């Protein structure tokens, strides 16, 4: 098992999930267990719970930053989407997640962007 620091500064999660540890400056340490080291269903579920908690924290932070983007763009909301930028985002993520690839990541990224836009519009 190894840790990777995921910067979650600015989030208000009161208590991190198992497998995560809050650092002094808002950073979030997330255990990234090797799949080979997970030998029981309970261990696998605990690892997934920690990863899901980190994903939720990252998605919340991404949504807040995306709302800033919406305020700064000349045309915000769904009308201001940039398909070329979204394609580059998918490609960059696919480089980090080759087992998923761009084809599988594209609908995930689309859902994240649409949820963020919806949240930004609801927050106005």
Q: How many other CB atoms are there within 10 angstroms of residue 84's CB atom? A: 7
Q: Is the dihedral of CA 110, 111, 115, 121 positive or negative?
A: positive
Sign of the Cα torsion 103, 108, 113, 118 reads positive
77-85 average pLDDT score? 92
Query: Tell me: the pLDDT tens digits for 25-78?
Result: 777 778 788 899 999 999 999 999 989 999 999 999 999 999 999 889 988 888
DSSP H/E element including 113:
helix 101-122
Higher pLDDT, 114 or 23: 114
- Does residue 79 or residue 22 have the better pLDDT? 79
Residue 4, strand partner residues: 30
Look at residue 88 in the predicted model and tell me its pLDDT. 98
* pLDDT for residue 80 is more than 70: yes
pTM, 2 dp:
0.75
Residue 20 has a pLDDT of 55
């Amino acid at each position: 098992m190894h840790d990777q620091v995921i910067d979650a500064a600015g989030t208000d999660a009161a208590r991190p999930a198992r497998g995560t540890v809050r650092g002094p400056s808002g950073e979030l340490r997330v255990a990234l267990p090797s799949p080979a080291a997970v030998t029981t269903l309970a261990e696998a579920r605990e690892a997934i719970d920690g990863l899901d908690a980190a994903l939720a924290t990252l998605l919340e932070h991404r949504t807040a930053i995306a709302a800033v983007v919406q305020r700064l763009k000349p045309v915000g909301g769904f009308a201001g989407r940039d398909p070329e930028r979204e394609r580059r985002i998918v490609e960059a993520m696919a480089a980090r997640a080759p087992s998923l690839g761009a084809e599988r990541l594209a609908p995930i990224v689309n859902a994240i962007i649409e949820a963020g836009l919806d949240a930004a519009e609801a927050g106005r």
